[in-house]
Copies of this chain bind each other. A is one copy, B any other.
């Protein structure tokens, strides 16, 4: 039945197309719990507290007002994401990555982003590329990024996500977002550092220029080297953040 049949004389009322208010089953408790726990974990700043953070199924189920079943399913999903690790008969620990792991992740990020840059040079529209500059329109010689670190940090993340999105590659987008969720944890403590922030903006602009010039190789190289630079920075200056 490809098209909608137009009944000529509706007996009682004109059946459909009247504000179908999204009967959608809303999302299940399992998914709600997943989102809630994920957000909670991401904003708890794991690297600030010295002792390892643990979760308790029963406490969570009570807090969220649901039974343990959907909680456990959500935990299983979070474990697949690498955010928690459940130890049988011991508890559920929120995973803390080591510096080495973070550097490793950032390298993967660099790989994905450089591929995105490559694709963008061949498919993205000029106006969309140029629009990337808008993320930094509030910064310049009279308003230095290093003087508004927090704000610049947000713009930085937004820029990278927008950049990846331009590749129109769902896989690259999803994989990068996953990585960013893990790396973002101490973004404030690394990307936000003033010394690095100073070099960040020009590099971003240089990437945009290469993209506009449709210079595939150069765009790829600049995107890669930029993020690889962050990796090197974390590797060199991030020890104090980890145990």
Measured CB to CB, the nearest residue on chain B to A109 is B171
Q: Does A132 contact B (CB under 8 A)?
A: no
Chain A, interface size category, equals 20 to 34
Residue on B with the closest CB to A26?
Answer: B88
Residue interface mask A48-77, B partner, CB < 8 A = 1: 000000000000000000000100111011
Closest to A69 in B: B69
Report if A199 contacts B (CB, 8 A): no
> Which residues A74-94 have CB closer than 8 A to chain B?
74, 76-77, 79-81, 88-89
List residues of chain B with CB within 8 A of the CB of A101. Answer: 170-171
The complex is assembled from copies of this chain, and their number is 2
Q: Please report the C-alpha to C-alpha distance between residue A76 and residue B110 in the assembled complex, in whole angstroms.
A: 30
Task: Give the distance in Å from the alpha carbon of A108 to the alpha carbon of B175 in the complex.
Answer: 9
The listed residue with most B CB atoms (<10 A of its CB), out of A76, A104, A107, is A76
* B104/A115 in contact, CB under 8 A: no
Task: Identify 17 residue pairs between A and B in the complex whose beta-carbon atoms are under 8 Å apart, listed by A's number.
Answer: A25-B89, A30-B76, A72-B73, A74-B76, A76-B77, A77-B79, A77-B80, A101-B170, A101-B171, A104-B171, A105-B171, A107-B115, A107-B119, A108-B171, A108-B175, A110-B115, A111-B172
